[in-house]
A and B are shown apart, each in its own frame.
Chain A
Amino acid sequence: MGVTRRQLLWAGAGIGAAGALAACSSGTGEPRNAAPTGAAGEQPRTGGTLKVGALGRASAITRDPHGTQANESDYLIISLLYDTLAIPGDKTNTAPRLAASWKPSDDLKTWRFTLADGAKFHDDTPVTADDVVWSLKRLRNTPAGKSRLPGIQPEGIKAEDAKTVVLVSDYPNAELPLLTRLTTFVLKKDTKDDAIAGAPGTGPFKLDWYRDGNARLVRNDDWYGGKPPLDAIEVRIFESPQAMANALLAGQIDLASNVGAVAARTAEARKDVQILRRPNDMAMPIVMRTADGPFADARVREALKLAVDRDAMVKQVLSGYGSVANDILGTGDPAFARDIPQRKRDLDKARQLLADAGFDTGKTYDLITTEDIAGLAESATLFATQAREAGVKINVVKQESKVFWDATWLKAPLYTSYWGTNDSVVFLSSKTMVSDSGMNETGWNEPAFDETYRKAMATSDTTERAKLLHQLQEIEYAKSGYLLWGMADGIDLAGSAVRGLPKLPGYGRVQLEKAWLAR
């Protein structure tokens, strides 16, 4: 009860006001504990338990920080308990976490990461470079390890001294720290596989209990990143976004993480619910195969890029919860080329380009899609209607997810794809557009692009590299097989008292260490 009263007093005091003032005013006015939604400059208050709902399936639960985290709920729990070397950032797309700083060698192949001062595990033992090396090697040796740490061999992960970890890349990589943002969770050296579930982490919260995908986490007072305001976070797993939205509307949870546009529409009428939009969360490009087939001619691809009505796509497919995009992936990157003119619908030019290229408009082309994520199949259907206005007949084929990833992905001439990490032009270039990339979705082989990419990755001078990255995006804009019509927002719903929630897209949604409750 005492805590509650003090909190109410703080609310009455307002921004940064002295406690004495609060004590004086407390006798008279009603304490305002429902501060205006998202008011800036409020003093974070300590205490309270934040109840968070996150999506996940009971059958796919994993507690291994280096395992396949298909569940958002699992990833959330893991990233509150364990720290990665770096995290997605706001002003720079890679921000320090367990690694306080990093420095490359002149040839950009060897990178030295210095661990944060005072970093220690939940059992009070300090984090050493050996722990980090062991964890990164464990990650590298998982089935997907090669694509999680591309260009880094297990032997290339070494400890230099107690606080310094060295990563050696096979090739110059100016943005290597980018690779350490997502799954480089650090455990204690020699943690046994059967002890992973309860293994101590270094993160802002400690495990109180865990059960079937649900968990209660309590504040780590000794966290090197600063004491988190919340006493505890309770994570609840939800199979369906609808149930999660209902739980929030009924006041059973305080935050429905990544609940989606449909829930946001339902909640629009509710004054006591905050709708939080994290822009650039999800890319849903239409993929046109460049290597061969009907879309191999760059003019045909440009015609389709001119045929799409981007505003209508965002409005209808994303219920308006998104933004128009410009056929360049990595829209959330600080290095994203905003100055390249926005491509707009131009049906005449599209028809002209199709005629120039000798495109067969008599035929009907299959656009293959899935229902993996909300809006994907709808985007295909609407695009097909729009393309018809430019004279291209498209038939939408909905495939079962497993069939799609087996038979269509990386192979078919025209399909939809989606990417959840969109804050790096380099990340997506390296994964999907460089000709020898493992997930070259469009079958692209553009020497100019490859050359510019390699040059950029081998350039340590930041202005020079920025120039190269801009060139890279110009080439992508002009010729790539990606028709990126828009970007979906990540949408969270929150109760009116929740503050300090993450604003970053994608995996940035798990950064709850600064969240607090104004009640």
Chain B
Amino acid sequence: MTPTPTPAGGATAPPAGRLHRLLPALGRAGVLAVRRLGLLVTLLAAAFAAVALLPGDAANATSERGETTTDTAARRAALGLDRPLAERFWDWMTGLPTGDLGTTAHGQPVTSVLAGPLPNTLLLGGLALAASLLGALALGGWAALRPGGRLDRTIAVLATAAFALPEFVLSIGLLLVFSLWTGWLPAVTLTGADGAPASWDMLALPALALALPQIGWNTRIARAALADQAALPHVRAAVLDGLPRYRILTHHMLPGALPAVAIATATSAGMLLGGAVVVETLFNYPGIGNVLAGAIADRDTPLVAGVVAATGAAISTLLLCADLIRERVLGERP
């Protein structure tokens, strides 16, 4: 995680003497931010529309057997579901800046439903993301040290295999091996009084299940980006100069490969949060994936939109950081 924000911070806080260069940079960052924001709003509109397209609505999805149609109609009105979709979307969007995410179909404020699970998912996702970034850089770099060697090929095969494995299969495998057979790690996460996992080792299996496929994917990206760098004249020159291989990797190849790795990592964040729905259910992790699955089943539009907004904002921030890194590294030579 740590390498990502540093160059971005550098881009926004250069020495005061170079104001004439700062303004365009800020402008570019602003444009990127607006673009990401626009994408997020589109995404939210799509979420609203998608829930509306599903059969049934929140009023009958949360009704009890035995409720009359008038009861259901009354709740439909109470939930505001009798109003046009565009109007509901607008109401919800205008509440957003004030931090009001609306009320769920079960009558709870969306913010309070998300208050517990969202930090848990960000923690799990953050751990998995850090693991996938570090794992990918280590493996990709290791493979790039001896291009075409046996190690390089082994890593390539393993990386592809890891990425091809569905989270579901991977999770069951990890669960069997590390919990049910050996008893090394807890099988599921139990929630403590503070809403967080009761002990830290409960994070290990779900984080691993999420990270492994992404390590596979990002390793391939990192390896390819490093290979591109290896072909550049300044790296060749460094090799001819007889610099240590490790130093060439960290000082000459890695900086140039960073934009590609950053983009891949940011993209991974999206994949991670998608995988979280499956992984959280299998490991009973008290995260947002469980909330989302239930919210869709209940046609609970405000809650679905709340989850999308929260995760979308997290992913958009990461993507923006990745954009800024690319801007910083490649910006001067378009």
B284-309 CB contact bits vs A (8 Å, 1 = yes)?
Answer: 10100011111101111001000000
For chain B, residues 261 to 283, give those with C-beta under 8 angstroms from any C-beta of chain A: 280-283
Which residue on chain B has the smallest CB distance to residue A238? B284
Contact B65 A59 (CB under 8 A): no
Asked whether B7 is an interface residue with its Cβ less than 8 Å from the other chain, the reply is no
Residue in B61, B284, B294, B297 whose CB lies within 8 Å of A247: B284
The answer to whether A81 has its CB under 8 Å from any CB of chain B is no
Asked whether A439 lies within 8 Å of B65 as measured between CB atoms, the reply is yes
B74 proximity list for chain A (CB < 8 A): 143
Of B108, B191, B293, which contacts A57 at CB under 8 A?
Answer: B293
Number of B residues near A (Cβ < 8 Å) is 52
When distances are taken between beta carbons in the complex, the residues of chain A under 8 Å from B281 are: 239-240, 243
| A59:B299 contact, CB within 8 angstroms | no
Closest partner residue, chain B, to A208 (CB atom): B193
The residues of B that contact A405 with a CB separation of less than 8 Å are 56, 60
* B68 contacts A by Cβ under 8 Å: yes
Q: Which residue from B108, B116, B290, B297 sits with its C-beta under 8 Å from A211?
A: B116
Q: Which of A9-17, A60-68, A283-291, A326-334 contacts B (4 or more CB under 8 A)?
A: A60-68
Nearest CB of chain A from residue B97's CB, rounded to whole Å: 25
Chain B residue with the shortest CB-CB distance to A419? B65
The verdict on A144 contacting chain B, using a C-beta distance below 8 Å, is: yes
Are A209 and B64 within 8 A (Cβ)?
A: no
Of A146, A212, A250, chain B has the most CB atoms within 10 Å of the CB of: A212
- Complex interface: chain A residues within 8 A of B290 (CB): 57-59, 239
Q: Which residue of A lies closest to B185 (CB)?
A: A250
B60: which A residues are within 8 A, CB to CB?
A: 402, 405-406
B284 x A239 contact (CB < 8 A) = yes
| A403 interface contact, C-beta 8 A | yes
Chain B CB within 8 A of A264 CB: no
Closest to B202 in A: A252
Query: Quick check: which of B145-153, B175-183, B210-218, B237-245 contacts chain A, the rest being far away?
Result: B175-183
Task: Give Cα A247 to B74, complex, Å.
Answer: 41
A397 to nearest B CB, angstroms? 14
CB contacts (< 8 Å) of A439 on chain B: these are 65-66
Q: Are A402 and B55 in contact (CB under 8 A)?
A: yes
Cα A98 to Cα B297 in complex, Å, equals 36
* A246 with B188: CB separation less than 8 A: yes
B71 and chain A: residue at smallest CB distance? A143
- Which residues in window 227-242 of A have CB below 8 A to B? 236-240, 242
B191 contacts A244, C-beta separation under 8 Å: no
Is A400 interfacial (CB 8 A cutoff)? yes
Q: A434: shortest Cβ distance to chain B, in Å?
A: 14
CA distance A249 to B176 in the complex (A): 11
Instruction: Determine whether the beta carbon of A252 is less than 8 Å from that of B188.
Output: yes
For residue A305, CB closer than 8 A to chain B, the reply is no
Query: Is B4's beta carbon under 8 Å from chain A?
Result: no
In angstroms, how far is the closest chain A Cβ from the Cβ of B242? 55
Known: A143-B74, A246-B180. A403 touches B190 (CB 8 A): no
Let me know if B187 and A250 touch, CB within 8 A: yes
Judged by a CB distance under 8 angstroms, whether A118 is at the interface is no
| Least CB distance, A158 to chain B, in whole angstroms | 24
Proximity bits, A107-151, B CB within 8 Å = 1, else 0: 000000000000000000000000000000000000110111000
**Residue among A60, A209, A242 with max Cβ neighbours from chain B (10 Å):** A60
CB distance from A360 to the nearest CB of B (A): 31
A-B contact pairs, 18 of them (CB 8 A): A57-B297, A58-B286, A60-B106, A68-B62, A144-B66, A144-B71, A146-B66, A211-B194, A212-B191, A212-B195, A212-B286, A216-B193, A242-B282, A246-B179, A252-B188, A405-B60, A438-B66, A439-B65
Going nearest first, the 8 A-B pairs with the smallest beta carbon separation are: A402-B56, A59-B294, A147-B66, A250-B187, A57-B294, A243-B284, A246-B187, A144-B64
Q: Which residues of A contact B (CB under 8 A)?
A: 51, 57-62, 67-68, 70, 143-144, 146-148, 209, 211-212, 214, 216, 236-240, 242-244, 246-247, 249-250, 252-253, 400-403, 405-406, 431, 438-439
20 other contacts beyond A239-B293, A243-B187, A246-B179, with CB at 8 A cut-off?
A: A51-B190, A59-B290, A60-B62, A60-B294, A68-B63, A144-B66, A144-B71, A146-B68, A147-B65, A212-B117, A214-B190, A214-B191, A214-B286, A239-B281, A243-B281, A243-B282, A243-B284, A250-B188, A401-B297, A405-B56
